[in-house]
Amino acid sequence: MPVIKESDIFEGETALKKWSQSARELAHTAHSMDDLLTIYPKLSRREMAMAVRYSLYMLQLRAPGPGVEVRVAPFAAVKVLEGPKSDPHNLTPPDVIELEPDVWLRLVCGITNWSQEKDAGHISAMGIRDDLSSLLPLPIG
Domain span at 111: 6-126
Q: Is residue 57 part of a domain?
A: yes
Per-residue pLDDT tens over the stretch 54-63: 999 999 999 9
Q: The domain that contains 51 carries what CATH number?
A: 3.30.1050.40
Residue 81 above 70 pLDDT?
Answer: yes
Q: Is residue 138 part of a domain?
A: no
Residue 40 has pLDDT above 70, yes or no: yes
Count of structural domains, the chain: 1
Residues 75 and 49: beta-carbon distance below 8 Å: yes
The lowest-confidence range among 15-19, 63-67, 82-86, 110-114 is 82-86
Domain membership of residue 139 (yes or no) is: no
- Which residue type does 19 have? W
Question: Distance (Å, rounded) from C-alpha 121 to C-alpha 124?
Answer: 8
Q: How high is the pLDDT of residue 126?
A: 86
User: Which pLDDT score is estimated for 90?
Assistant: 59
Say how many residues make up the chain. 141
Q: Are 27 and 36 in contact (CB under 8 A)?
A: yes
